[in-house]
Amino acid sequence: MERTSNRTPDVLDSSLKDFHRVIEFGLRVSLRLRGQPTNDAGYFASIIHTKMSINAISLETLCKSEIFDHSAVMTICRMIIEGMTLFYYLIEKVENTQWQCRELVLKLHDSCARIKLLRAHLQKGEYQDISDERKSFQAELNKNSYFQELPAEQQKKLLTGEHIFVGGMRAAATRAAGWREENFIALYNYFSSHSHSAPMSFMRFDQHKVDFSEPSEIQRNMVAMAINVAEFCLLRATMHRLVKSPAFDEFKGPELDEFQRELQESKILTGSGCGQS
Protein backbone atom coordinates (compact mmCIF):
# COMPACT_ATOMS: atom_id res chain seq x y z
CA MET A 1 0.00 0.00 0.00
CA GLU A 2 1.35 3.42 -0.89
CA ARG A 3 1.56 6.02 1.82
CA THR A 4 -0.80 8.99 1.47
CA SER A 5 -0.28 12.29 3.27
CA ASN A 6 -1.45 15.88 3.32
CA ARG A 7 2.12 16.97 3.78
CA THR A 8 3.41 19.69 1.46
CA PRO A 9 6.06 18.64 -1.09
CA ASP A 10 9.65 18.85 0.22
CA VAL A 11 13.23 18.11 -0.77
CA LEU A 12 12.58 14.34 -0.82
CA ASP A 13 9.69 14.71 -3.25
CA SER A 14 11.92 16.77 -5.53
CA SER A 15 14.78 14.26 -5.26
CA LEU A 16 12.48 11.34 -6.12
CA LYS A 17 11.13 13.17 -9.15
CA ASP A 18 14.64 13.83 -10.48
CA PHE A 19 15.71 10.27 -9.64
CA HIS A 20 12.83 8.81 -11.63
CA ARG A 21 14.01 10.69 -14.73
CA VAL A 22 17.49 9.24 -14.37
CA ILE A 23 16.18 5.70 -13.80
CA GLU A 24 14.01 5.89 -16.90
CA PHE A 25 16.95 7.26 -18.91
CA GLY A 26 19.25 4.51 -17.62
CA LEU A 27 16.79 1.80 -18.59
CA ARG A 28 16.38 3.23 -22.08
CA VAL A 29 20.13 3.34 -22.61
CA SER A 30 20.59 -0.18 -21.22
CA LEU A 31 17.89 -1.55 -23.51
CA ARG A 32 19.34 0.23 -26.55
CA LEU A 33 22.86 -1.08 -25.91
CA ARG A 34 21.78 -4.61 -25.10
CA GLY A 35 23.58 -7.22 -27.19
CA GLN A 36 26.32 -4.93 -28.52
CA PRO A 37 29.67 -6.65 -29.09
CA THR A 38 32.13 -6.13 -26.25
CA ASN A 39 34.96 -7.78 -24.33
CA ASP A 40 34.68 -9.53 -20.97
CA ALA A 41 35.26 -6.32 -19.02
CA GLY A 42 32.58 -4.48 -21.00
CA TYR A 43 30.17 -7.37 -20.58
CA PHE A 44 30.61 -7.42 -16.81
CA ALA A 45 30.32 -3.62 -16.68
CA SER A 46 27.04 -3.71 -18.62
CA ILE A 47 25.63 -6.18 -16.09
CA ILE A 48 26.71 -3.91 -13.23
CA HIS A 49 25.00 -0.94 -14.89
CA THR A 50 21.79 -2.92 -15.33
CA LYS A 51 22.05 -4.07 -11.71
CA MET A 52 22.42 -0.43 -10.59
CA SER A 53 19.27 0.46 -12.56
CA ILE A 54 17.27 -2.33 -10.93
CA ASN A 55 18.60 -1.33 -7.50
CA ALA A 56 17.38 2.18 -8.24
CA ILE A 57 13.88 0.92 -9.07
CA SER A 58 13.83 -0.99 -5.77
CA LEU A 59 14.93 2.15 -3.94
CA GLU A 60 12.18 4.17 -5.58
CA THR A 61 9.62 1.52 -4.63
CA LEU A 62 10.79 1.54 -1.01
CA CYS A 63 10.22 5.28 -0.77
CA LYS A 64 6.60 4.80 -1.83
CA SER A 65 5.94 2.06 0.70
CA GLU A 66 3.60 2.40 3.66
CA ILE A 67 6.64 1.85 5.89
CA PHE A 68 9.42 4.42 5.57
CA ASP A 69 12.55 2.32 6.04
CA HIS A 70 15.31 4.90 5.65
CA SER A 71 18.03 2.37 6.55
CA ALA A 72 16.96 0.07 3.71
CA VAL A 73 17.02 3.01 1.32
CA MET A 74 20.57 3.92 2.35
CA THR A 75 21.62 0.28 2.08
CA ILE A 76 20.55 0.29 -1.57
CA CYS A 77 22.31 3.62 -2.10
CA ARG A 78 25.46 1.96 -0.79
CA MET A 79 24.97 -0.81 -3.36
CA ILE A 80 24.70 1.78 -6.12
CA ILE A 81 27.86 3.60 -4.96
CA GLU A 82 29.70 0.29 -4.93
CA GLY A 83 28.21 -0.54 -8.33
CA MET A 84 29.51 2.65 -9.90
CA THR A 85 32.96 2.09 -8.40
CA LEU A 86 33.07 -1.46 -9.77
CA PHE A 87 31.72 -0.26 -13.15
CA TYR A 88 34.65 2.14 -13.60
CA TYR A 89 37.13 -0.40 -12.25
CA LEU A 90 35.97 -2.89 -14.88
CA ILE A 91 36.23 -0.47 -17.80
CA GLU A 92 39.50 1.12 -16.68
CA LYS A 93 42.08 0.80 -19.46
CA VAL A 94 44.85 -1.52 -18.28
CA GLU A 95 47.36 -3.86 -19.88
CA ASN A 96 46.08 -7.29 -20.85
CA THR A 97 48.01 -9.12 -18.12
CA GLN A 98 46.57 -6.77 -15.48
CA TRP A 99 43.02 -7.36 -16.73
CA GLN A 100 43.63 -11.11 -16.68
CA CYS A 101 44.76 -10.76 -13.07
CA ARG A 102 41.64 -8.75 -12.19
CA GLU A 103 39.36 -11.24 -13.91
CA LEU A 104 40.97 -14.16 -12.10
CA VAL A 105 40.51 -12.36 -8.78
CA LEU A 106 36.81 -11.88 -9.56
CA LYS A 107 36.41 -15.53 -10.54
CA LEU A 108 38.30 -16.70 -7.45
CA HIS A 109 36.09 -14.58 -5.19
CA ASP A 110 33.00 -16.06 -6.85
CA SER A 111 34.22 -19.61 -6.31
CA CYS A 112 35.16 -19.01 -2.68
CA ALA A 113 31.81 -17.39 -1.94
CA ARG A 114 29.98 -20.37 -3.44
CA ILE A 115 32.03 -22.80 -1.38
CA LYS A 116 31.09 -20.92 1.81
CA LEU A 117 27.44 -21.26 0.85
CA LEU A 118 27.56 -24.92 -0.11
CA ARG A 119 29.66 -26.22 2.78
CA ALA A 120 26.79 -25.48 5.17
CA HIS A 121 24.47 -27.86 3.33
CA LEU A 122 26.59 -30.36 1.40
CA GLN A 123 29.38 -32.83 2.02
CA LYS A 124 32.77 -31.71 0.73
CA GLY A 125 32.72 -34.19 -2.12
CA GLU A 126 29.45 -32.77 -3.42
CA TYR A 127 31.03 -29.43 -4.34
CA GLN A 128 34.46 -30.78 -5.26
CA ASP A 129 34.15 -29.28 -8.75
CA ILE A 130 34.03 -25.77 -7.30
CA SER A 131 36.90 -26.53 -4.93
CA ASP A 132 38.94 -27.69 -7.92
CA GLU A 133 37.92 -24.53 -9.76
CA ARG A 134 39.20 -22.42 -6.86
CA LYS A 135 42.57 -24.18 -6.93
CA SER A 136 42.76 -23.68 -10.69
CA PHE A 137 42.16 -19.93 -10.38
CA GLN A 138 44.77 -19.68 -7.61
CA ALA A 139 47.29 -21.50 -9.79
CA GLU A 140 46.57 -19.22 -12.75
CA LEU A 141 46.95 -16.16 -10.55
CA ASN A 142 50.35 -17.34 -9.35
CA LYS A 143 51.47 -17.61 -12.98
CA ASN A 144 50.16 -14.17 -13.99
CA SER A 145 53.05 -11.76 -14.63
CA TYR A 146 51.17 -8.74 -13.24
CA PHE A 147 50.24 -10.65 -10.09
CA GLN A 148 53.87 -11.66 -9.61
CA GLU A 149 54.88 -7.98 -9.49
CA LEU A 150 52.46 -7.19 -6.65
CA PRO A 151 53.74 -6.94 -3.06
CA ALA A 152 53.87 -10.34 -1.36
CA GLU A 153 51.32 -9.31 1.26
CA GLN A 154 48.84 -8.26 -1.42
CA GLN A 155 49.37 -11.51 -3.31
CA LYS A 156 48.64 -13.44 -0.14
CA LYS A 157 45.40 -11.54 0.44
CA LEU A 158 44.18 -11.95 -3.14
CA LEU A 159 44.83 -15.70 -3.11
CA THR A 160 42.39 -16.11 -0.21
CA GLY A 161 39.53 -15.23 -2.55
CA GLU A 162 38.19 -12.71 -0.04
CA HIS A 163 38.88 -9.64 -2.19
CA ILE A 164 37.16 -8.23 -5.29
CA PHE A 165 39.42 -5.30 -6.21
CA VAL A 166 43.11 -5.68 -6.98
CA GLY A 167 44.63 -2.91 -4.89
CA GLY A 168 41.51 -2.48 -2.78
CA MET A 169 38.14 -0.82 -3.23
CA ARG A 170 39.23 2.57 -1.93
CA ALA A 171 42.02 2.77 -4.50
CA ALA A 172 39.60 1.75 -7.25
CA ALA A 173 37.13 4.39 -6.11
CA THR A 174 39.68 7.19 -6.26
CA ARG A 175 41.73 6.06 -9.27
CA ALA A 176 39.20 4.45 -11.62
CA ALA A 177 35.90 6.03 -10.57
CA GLY A 178 37.39 9.44 -9.76
CA TRP A 179 36.06 9.85 -6.23
CA ARG A 180 37.75 12.30 -3.91
CA GLU A 181 38.84 9.91 -1.16
CA GLU A 182 37.27 11.88 1.69
CA ASN A 183 33.92 12.04 -0.12
CA PHE A 184 33.92 8.32 -0.87
CA ILE A 185 34.84 7.32 2.69
CA ALA A 186 32.27 9.68 4.20
CA LEU A 187 29.35 8.48 2.07
CA TYR A 188 30.26 4.80 1.97
CA ASN A 189 30.84 4.70 5.72
CA TYR A 190 27.58 6.48 6.49
CA PHE A 191 25.48 4.26 4.25
CA SER A 192 27.32 1.17 5.54
CA SER A 193 26.41 2.04 9.12
CA HIS A 194 22.75 1.62 8.16
CA SER A 195 23.47 -1.56 6.21
CA HIS A 196 25.13 -3.20 9.22
CA SER A 197 23.03 -1.79 12.08
CA ALA A 198 26.08 0.02 13.42
CA PRO A 199 25.60 2.49 16.33
CA MET A 200 25.44 5.41 13.91
CA SER A 201 22.20 3.92 12.59
CA PHE A 202 20.34 3.75 15.92
CA MET A 203 22.00 5.85 18.65
CA ARG A 204 19.98 9.01 17.89
CA PHE A 205 16.49 7.65 17.25
CA ASP A 206 14.85 9.95 19.80
CA GLN A 207 16.93 12.97 18.86
CA HIS A 208 16.05 12.55 15.17
CA LYS A 209 12.40 11.75 15.94
CA VAL A 210 12.55 8.59 13.85
CA ASP A 211 9.12 7.29 12.88
CA PHE A 212 8.62 4.54 10.31
CA SER A 213 5.02 5.56 9.56
CA GLU A 214 5.27 9.34 9.63
CA PRO A 215 8.96 10.07 9.00
CA SER A 216 10.53 13.14 10.54
CA GLU A 217 12.10 15.93 8.53
CA ILE A 218 15.55 14.60 9.41
CA GLN A 219 14.64 11.15 8.06
CA ARG A 220 13.30 12.59 4.84
CA ASN A 221 16.32 14.84 4.39
CA MET A 222 18.84 12.05 4.94
CA VAL A 223 17.00 9.89 2.41
CA ALA A 224 16.89 12.78 -0.05
CA MET A 225 20.67 13.17 0.30
CA ALA A 226 21.20 9.44 -0.26
CA ILE A 227 18.98 9.48 -3.34
CA ASN A 228 20.92 12.42 -4.77
CA VAL A 229 24.11 10.38 -4.46
CA ALA A 230 22.50 7.29 -6.03
CA GLU A 231 21.09 9.42 -8.84
CA PHE A 232 24.52 10.85 -9.60
CA CYS A 233 26.17 7.41 -9.61
CA LEU A 234 23.58 5.89 -11.93
CA LEU A 235 23.56 8.88 -14.28
CA ARG A 236 27.33 8.95 -14.51
CA ALA A 237 27.59 5.24 -15.38
CA THR A 238 24.71 5.55 -17.84
CA MET A 239 26.28 8.52 -19.56
CA HIS A 240 29.62 6.78 -19.83
CA ARG A 241 28.04 3.77 -21.51
CA LEU A 242 26.14 5.99 -23.90
CA VAL A 243 28.96 8.38 -24.80
CA LYS A 244 31.25 5.46 -25.64
CA SER A 245 28.65 3.77 -27.86
CA PRO A 246 27.59 4.19 -31.51
CA ALA A 247 24.06 4.98 -30.24
CA PHE A 248 25.10 8.31 -28.71
CA ASP A 249 23.75 10.41 -31.62
CA GLU A 250 20.31 8.84 -31.21
CA PHE A 251 19.98 10.36 -27.74
CA LYS A 252 21.17 13.87 -28.60
CA GLY A 253 18.72 16.57 -27.59
CA PRO A 254 17.62 18.79 -24.69
CA GLU A 255 17.34 15.87 -22.26
CA LEU A 256 20.89 14.71 -22.89
CA ASP A 257 22.20 18.27 -22.70
CA GLU A 258 20.51 18.70 -19.32
CA PHE A 259 21.94 15.46 -17.94
CA GLN A 260 25.43 16.41 -19.12
CA ARG A 261 25.09 19.81 -17.47
CA GLU A 262 23.94 18.22 -14.21
CA LEU A 263 27.01 16.00 -14.14
CA GLN A 264 29.30 18.91 -14.87
CA GLU A 265 27.80 20.96 -12.04
CA SER A 266 27.63 18.16 -9.46
CA LYS A 267 30.13 18.19 -6.60
CA ILE A 268 29.22 14.78 -5.17
CA LEU A 269 32.23 13.04 -6.69
CA THR A 270 35.12 15.36 -5.89
CA GLY A 271 33.65 18.23 -3.93
CA SER A 272 34.73 20.59 -6.71
CA GLY A 273 32.78 19.57 -9.80
CA CYS A 274 33.23 16.60 -12.15
CA GLY A 275 32.86 15.51 -15.73
CA GLN A 276 30.60 12.98 -17.38
CA SER A 277 33.15 10.42 -18.58
Q: What confidence tier does 10 reach under pLDDT thresholds 50, 70, 90?
A: confident
Identify the domain boundary among 119, 143, 175.
175
Given a cut of 50, whether residue 273 has pLDDT beyond it is no
- 52 with 144, same domain? no
CA 157 – CA 170 distance, rounded (Å):
16
- 189 with 102, same domain? no
Q: What confidence tier does 7 reach under pLDDT thresholds 50, 70, 90?
A: low
Residue 190: the pLDDT is 93
Query: pLDDT averaged over the chain?
Result: 91
pLDDT in tens, 107-131: 999 999 999 999 999 998 999 999 9
CA 246 – CA 264 distance, rounded (Å):
22
CA 134 – CA 94 distance, rounded (Å):
24
For the chain, the domain total comes to: 2
- 83 with 115, same domain? no
- 141 with 164, same domain? yes
- 103 with 136, same domain? yes
Give percent above pLDDT 90 in the chain. Answer: 79
Evaluate the CA torsion angle 60, 66, 67, 68 in order and state its sign: positive
Which span out of 4-18, 23-37, 100-114 was modeled with the highest average pLDDT? 100-114
- Residue 69 burial (CB count, 10 A): 16
Residue 2: the pLDDT is 45
pLDDT in tens, 176-186: 999 999 999 99
Q: What confidence tier does 198 reach under pLDDT thresholds 50, 70, 90?
A: confident
* Residue 2, SS3 per DSSP: strand
Given a cut of 70, whether residue 276 has pLDDT beyond it is no
Give percent above pLDDT 70 in the chain. Answer: 94
| Domain that includes residue 28, residue range | 1-92+181-277
- 12 with 80, same domain? yes
pLDDT in tens, 154-176: 999 999 999 999 999 999 999 99
pLDDT in tens, 71-87: 999 999 999 999 999 99
CA 72 – CA 93 distance, rounded (Å):
34
Residue 35: the pLDDT is 86
Identify the domain boundary among 175, 196, 211.
175
Given a cut of 60, whether residue 102 has pLDDT beyond it is yes
Contact 191, 77 (CB under 8 A): yes
- 192 with 277, same domain? yes
The arithmetic mean of pLDDT across residues 215-230, rounded, is: 93
Identify the domain boundary among 152, 175, 198.
175
- 142 with 252, same domain? no
Which distant-in-sequence residues (6+ apart) come within 8 Å of 97 by Cβ? 144, 145, 146
pLDDT in tens, 49-68: 999 999 999 999 999 999 99
The arithmetic mean of pLDDT across residues 221-230, rounded, is: 94
- 23 with 127, same domain? no
Q: What confidence tier does 263 reach under pLDDT thresholds 50, 70, 90?
A: very high
